[in-house]
Amino acid sequence: MVDIFGSMVDVRPGRAGGPAAESATVSSLRQRNRGQVLAHILQSGRTTRGDLARECGLSFASATNIVGDLVAEGLVHETGSIASRGGRPIAVVEPRPEGAYLIGADVGERGVAVELFDLSMTRIDREFRGGRDEESPETIAHDLDDALAALRERHGELWPSLVGVGLGLPGIVETGPDGEQTLYAQSLGWDAVAVRDLIHADVPVFAENGAKTQAMAELWFGAARGVQHALVVLLGRGVGLGIIADGRLQRGATSSAAEWGHTKIERDGALCRCGGRGCVEAYVGAGAILDAWRNTGASFEGSGWNAIGELLDAADAGDPGAVAIVDDVLRTLGASLGSLVNLANPERIVVGGWVGLRLMERLGERLLDAVRANSLERPGSAVDLIASTFGGDSVALGAAIMPLESLVREPLAR
């Protein structure tokens, strides 16, 4: 289960002195149990009170009480029953889709995708804005507000149940002591941007680095669910990573942990968009891969999904230029991810992002071989490597998990 309370202090009753402190700890404990039960129902999609008691370490009576509270909150409901061994029917509990709504936005270098989810995390609507050659904080802010207004126009009746908006952003997102968040998008050449200037919403706004929100999506609902130690790789135009250790996403001292795209693979190597040299992104970012292919004299359509597909097709057909580039990408990824395996000792590497998904369509085995060839035998043999569960929309889905976590931490004030 996702440990969303990992940073909270131990609040077992009776630890702190005085009746007031005791009552505060009891209510914290109730809140924590409520959160655990709700998170489990959301993640499993379908469960029973008995399962909840077992999974959350609660008595059957406590689990029953909490489910009752969540039914009263409108967040879960009974959807039928299954037969028990004794023949007595056992009620099935599921998230109530219309119980709450969440918005997640993927803010990229080529536009914004703003997606509306119900509480079963089914996407019910989507707005895309973009198509410019270059984005700026001002164009992003304009597009986010515009997309949000369009969704509200169509779904105004849901707004009272909207928990908040999560933004997956293309850079480091820091949270100050006052809770104010700031985006540092060095690779895009932007000055520091206050998140509150990026979107104007009358609901809570949460922001995080896009690679980290992708990792959240995989951790809650995808290929990293139930995995205690994982690397969630984002390969697209930008190159990013989420590190999961002890079941939790790692953020570091100021939230820039796992900026893998800007770790060095070559001393004094290729110039990177961040201004540094020899960064991983300067070799395996979509731009770098396609530039290398273009330099062999190849001509192809566009700079996205189809172009990478054409490169892989050409390599499969034996085109020597394409073969050399694909080999090079695998060797670079193998060396860099192999080093990460030695550092982090993950059980699993999840590969996502649109370039990553294209590579995983046919090169997953070769990539794992390259990783193992570049890691020590023991940690190398302990890791597997699979494609991400969620495709191109994982950043938006992961961003919507930020308001979802806030709902898990405390009830929505309606």
Applying CB under 5 A, the residues found at the interface with Zn ion are 262, 272, 274, 276, 279
* CB-nearer residue toward Zn ion: 212 or 262: 262
Pick 240 or 403: Cβ nearer Zn ion = 240
Shortest distance, position 274 Cβ to Zn ion, whole Å? 3
Minimal distance, residue 190 CB to Zn ion, in Å: 15
Report d(CA 402, CA 203) in Å as an integer: 13
Q: Distance (Å, rounded) from C-alpha 127 to C-alpha 219?
A: 25
CA distance 289 to 355: 10
Give 102 or 280: the residue with its C-beta nearer to Zn ion: 280
Residue 237's φ and ψ, nearest 5 degrees, are: -65, -45
Alpha-carbon distance of 281 to 258, in angstroms, equals 13
Residue 334 Cβ, how far from Zn ion at the closest point, in Å? Answer: 19
Closest to Zn ion by CB, 272 vs 360, is 272
Question: Please, which residue, 212 or 348, has the CB nearer to Zn ion?
Answer: 212
Report yes or no: 91 and 49 within 8 Å, Cβ to Cβ.
Answer: yes
Closest distance of CB 273 from Zn ion, Å = 6
**How many CA atoms are closer than 13 Å to the CA of 296, on its beta-carbon side?**
18
Q: From the CB of residue 278, how many other CB atoms can be counted at a distance below 10 Å? A: 17
Q: Which is nearer to Zn ion, 47 or 187 (CB)?
A: 187
CB 218 to Zn ion: min, Å: 24
Which has the closest alpha carbon to 102: 113, 93, 112, 114? 114
Closer residue to Zn ion, CB minimum distance, 89 or 275: 275
CB 256, min distance to Zn ion, A:
13
* Choice between 4 and 279, CB closer to Zn ion: 279
Of 254 and 306, nearer to Zn ion (C-beta) is 254
Contact indicator for 183, 198 with CB cutoff of 8 Å? yes
CB contact at 8 A, 43 and 13: no
Answer whether 126's CB lies under 8 Å from 114's CB: yes
Of 288 and 385, nearer to Zn ion (C-beta) is: 288
* Contact (CB, 8 A) for 275 and 188: no
Closest by Cα among 350, 153, 121, 76 to 240 = 350
Torsion angle defined by CA atoms of residues 339, 340, 342 and 346, in that order, rounded to the nearest 10 degrees: -150
Strand order in the sheet with 348-352: 248-249, 239-245, 230-235, 348-352, 384-387
CB of 260 to Zn ion, least distance (A): 10
Query: Considering the complex, what minimum distance in angstroms separates the CB of residue 337 from Zn ion?
Result: 17
Q: How far is the CB of 245 from Zn ion (least distance, A)?
A: 24
Burial 297-323 (b: 16+ CB within 10 A, else e): ebebeeebeebbebbbebbeeebebbe
| Angle, vertex CA 234, rays to CA 193 and CA 133, nearest 5 | 55
What is the closest distance, in whole angstroms, from the C-beta atom of residue 289 to Zn ion in the complex?
Answer: 15
